[in-house]
Amino acid sequence: MITLRKRADFLAAARARRQPAGAMLVQARFRDDGDPAVRVGFTCSKKVGNAVARNRAKRRLREVARLALPDIGRPGWDYVLIGRAEQTAARPFALLQGDFAGALRKLHGPDS
């Protein structure tokens, strides 16, 4: 799992598929570049809160992705997890994991 760092990668994911999922929004894009790596990015706007709140939300999103993507992420895809104000940090972790898994199932269609 590789972390997205470049703005262009985030913008490309923003133009692709998106799925609201409880306490987050998940964007997914098939890169079609032949690289089988699963890449993931995380972002929280200032609507989420101050720096402490944004970092807490991103830490939770990173852990959800770390646990789930090796099993349900698809090779060659980029995923961006976007935190939501007051929801990402407050949602119980088990429900947050379920939100992410459900979003990926919907993004990848019925064959997942």
Inter-helix orientation angle 93-108/51-72, to 10° = 50
pLDDT for 52: 94
What is the pLDDT, as a whole number, of residue 22? 87
What pLDDT shows up at residue 104? 94
73 token code pair: 């992420």
CATH number (3.30.2290.10, 3.40.50.1110, 3.20.20.70, 3.30.230.10) of 2-106 reads 3.30.230.10
Query: For residue 96, what pLDDT is reported?
Result: 95
The whole-number mean pLDDT for each consecutive block of 10 residues of the chain, a chain of 112 residues, reads: 94 95 94 92 95 94 96 94 93 95 90 56
Q: Which residues of 58-91 are buried (b: 16+ CB within 10 A; e: fewer)?
A: bebbeebbeebbeeebeebbbbbbbbbbeebbeb
d(CA 66, CA 46) in angstroms, rounded, equals: 24
